[in-house]
Structure 1
Amino acid sequence: MLPVYRLALPVLCLSLFLPCAFSVEAADPIPSAAANTAQEQPLERPPLPERSQEDAAALERQLPVQEQQLLQAGADTFLALWKPANTASPKGAVIIVPGAGETVDWPQAIAPLRRTLPDAEWSSLSITLPDPQSDAIAPRTAEMPPTLKAPETGSKDATTSAPIEQAVSGEAEVADKAVVETREEQVGADAERIFARIDAAIAYAEQQSARIIVVLGHGTGAYWAARYLSERQPPQVEKLVMVAAQMPVSAKPALAELAPTLKLPVADIFYRDKPADRNAALERLQASKRLKASGFSQVSLKALPGNSKAEQEQLVRRVRGWLSPQPEEKR
């Protein structure tokens, strides 16, 4: 017969082992639950860069480093291209504001002007504008479902369908009103960002000892330049040039209400080949004639399809002639 202590030894070992096993099994679900929670939480991704930032990054690899300037406007850092005048006594600096979707070296108007103005004794500073966020908000066009269309006159369901149609129409009006209000707020936010960049460009031109500062806008950039000068009225800017001016979507007030009322000389250069552009230019001209004193003037150009080089040379010649009029130069 075995001693009692030999029979008790296995029982003692088992009693010591089981609590450890249970404690391990009880502890397993806690990290598993934490792991599952971590897997369920979506990963936070950094916001995608704006298209203007991507375009600027691509240009930084292509353009001469000595032309590139990184300017600061609030929380934004943006690319600007500076070319000093090719003379010991520059006449001033021209700040070039591109339109929507255009870069600081856009082949139409922007690049030809910024590269050739230094030969006319004007320094040039082309700036990058932020992506317009207001363009991403489009008004909704609501169409009534076929089942809710108004029945023919005399139908028994006319009185029943009318409240449904009114409800659908009311909801559409509320939704459209919300879209319009949101878009107007976003247009205001776009304006503040653009104005901050023009402020930074003017400050840089002053640092370069520019005697006269001119702002030149192309496309929608012409609208933002005119609106900036109307609202901010910076004393440093003495002239405005608008080239092929366009209105941004949902922007107010209209360009015809802004440009002619500015208290400085304004050149409105437009292409007369497109009826819409010609009519808009006529509206701006008529608005200027209703004012007693206005420095507003217009120059009409003819588009030259298939001959982009000649078309750009025509534009450069007109801008240079207006900035520095020469008696012998044919206008």
Structure 2
Amino acid sequence: MKKLTLTTWLLTLSLSSAWAEDEDTTAADTPASSSSVVQADVERVMPTPQQTRIAGLIDRLSGNYGHEIETLNAQGTDFLGLFRESESGDPQGCLIMLHGDHGHPDWPQVISPIREQLPVHSWCTLSVEVPDIGGRATPVSISANEDDGAAPEENPALPNEETVFARIDAAVQLIRDKGYSQVAYMGYRTGAAYALRFAAERGTSNQALILIEPRTFAPVSEFDLAQNIERLRLPVLDYYFNRTARDTRFARQRQAAANKRTNRQAAYTQIDALPDARYDPSGNKRLVQRVWGFMKQNTNQQSQRKELPELDKELFYDSPND
């Protein structure tokens, strides 16, 4: 009885091994299942955060503010612009606005309040779409050899600089086509870096430049960006929020570059506006007042219904009795 049991067990083991070999061979010879093939052939959908933001913005504005939407073109690519006419009988010019990285032309901080309120004070506004510099999770690349002997680039360009400059040129042309002769420039965060580089590279003069909380991106360091101020030939409002030691250092670098300008007739006004850094009606009102006050005192005013004071007092001035 025991011998029969052992023989049966050996036979069962042998058959099991044979079946396993057959299954392995079949699996190797059989192509992937239809479900696997279907998944491999499915096209991956890449996220497009900027296009999504812009599409959402256009959808939100199309109802009541569709007349503000402009489609501009630069380098063969369409981009969004939001235009608001001057709401007074004596228009002074137009302010071109550049938002920060991963923003849009109606960004609720800084951009939207100025875009909406400045037309009340005789200036039209044109806020243009600025391409994203990089993904939020883009890894930082570090050079493997820091001391390779290569001299650093003297005047490095910002990422997408050529594209942004072309968009500013297209925006200026649109403003000219609408009958405005005077153009001023404003940038927020990385938008301020583009506006600063544009004014310095083009030698822009007789207008105005508004820098709000300037930020930069590699390969342009904060020191490199600040040096562009030395080449400016137009009035500048440098409006920043002194929150950290880095903000303090960057502001000093910009002020030092302004002190080296050969053309000192154009005003350079730097303001630590930390008390204004509130995203509420009172903070936005103060921001608009500062920007408008600077532009009113430092641009060529046309057909003003009220005479400006002869004293050039910029935004503030010291009383002779102090």
The alignment's TM-score, normalised by the length of structure 1, stands at 0.68
Kept in 2, the 8 Å contact 1:80–1:104? The answer is yes
What secondary structure does 2:287 align onto? Answer: helix
Structure 1 residue 241, shift from structure 2 partner: 0.7
Encode CA deviations 1:31-76: one digit per residue, 9 max, x unaligned: xx9xx9xx79x75959846422211110111111001001111132
**Structure 1 residues 55 and 176, CA gap change in structure 2 (3 angstroms):** farther
What secondary structure does 2:107 align onto? Answer: coil
One-letter amino acid of the structure 2 residue matched with residue 303 of structure 1: P
**Structure 1 residues 264 and 305, CA gap change in structure 2 (3 angstroms):** closer
Q: Which residue of 1 aligns with 2:258?
A: 288
Q: Which residue of 1 aligns with 2:213?
A: 244
1:55 equivalent among 44, 53, 56: 53
One-letter amino acid of the structure 2 residue matched with residue 314 of structure 1: R
Distance 1:53 1:89 in 2: 37
Distance 1:138 1:250 in 2: 12
What secondary structure does 2:237 align onto? Answer: strand
Kept in 1, the 8 Å contact 2:241–2:277? The answer is no
Q: Which residue of 1 aligns with 2:90?
A: 89
Q: Which residue of 2 aligns with 1:118?
A: 119
What secondary structure does 2:181 align onto? Answer: coil
Kept in 1, the 8 Å contact 2:294–2:314? The answer is no
Kept in 2, the 8 Å contact 1:52–1:128? The answer is no
1:193 equivalenced with 2:163 (yes/no)? yes
Q: Which residue of 2 aligns with 1:308?
A: 280
What secondary structure does 1:173 align onto? Answer: coil
Distance 1:45 1:232 in 2: 44
Kept in 1, the 8 Å contact 2:232–2:261? The answer is no
List alignment gaps of at least 5 residues for structure 1. 1-32, 141-171
- Between Structure 1 and Structure 2, the one with more helix by share is 1
Structure 1 residue 250, shift from structure 2 partner: 2.5
Bigger Cα displacement from structure 2, 109-118 vs 288-297: 288-297
Q: Which residue of 1 aligns with 2:7?
A: none
1:322 equivalenced with 2:282 (yes/no)? no
1:173 equivalent among 144, 147, 152: 144
Kept in 1, the 8 Å contact 2:73–2:167? The answer is yes
**Structure 1 residues 284 and 330, CA gap change in structure 2 (3 angstroms):** closer
Bigger Cα displacement from structure 2, 266-275 vs 246-255: 246-255
Kept in 1, the 8 Å contact 2:210–2:236? The answer is yes
What secondary structure does 1:256 align onto? Answer: helix
Distance 1:202 1:45 in 2: 40
**Structure 1 residues 192 and 76, CA gap change in structure 2 (3 angstroms):** same
Q: How many residues align?
A: 260
Distance 2:269 2:86 in 1: 26
Distance 1:76 1:44 in 2: 29
Structure 1 residue 78, shift from structure 2 partner: 1.0
Distance 2:159 2:108 in 1: 28
Distance 1:217 1:307 in 2: 17
1:262 equivalenced with 2:232 (yes/no)? yes
Structure 1 residue 266, shift from structure 2 partner: 1.4
**Structure 1 residues 212 and 47, CA gap change in structure 2 (3 angstroms):** farther
Distance 1:262 1:175 in 2: 32
Distance 1:49 1:191 in 2: 23
Structure 1 residue 79, shift from structure 2 partner: 1.0
Encode CA deviations 1:126-159: one digit per residue, 9 max, x unaligned: 011111148735214xxxxxxxxxxxxxxxxxxx
Distance 1:239 1:120 in 2: 16
The alignment's TM-score, normalised by the length of structure 2, stands at 0.70
Q: Which residue of 2 aligns with 1:25?
A: none
Structure 1 residue 205, shift from structure 2 partner: 0.9
Structure 1 residue 216, shift from structure 2 partner: 0.3
How do residues 81-230 of structure 1 correspond to structure 2 at under 5 angstroms?
81-133=82-134, 136=138, 138-140=140-142, 173=144, 190-230=160-200
Q: Which residue of 1 aligns with 2:269?
A: 297
Kept in 2, the 8 Å contact 1:92–1:210? The answer is yes
Structure 1 residue 276, shift from structure 2 partner: 2.0
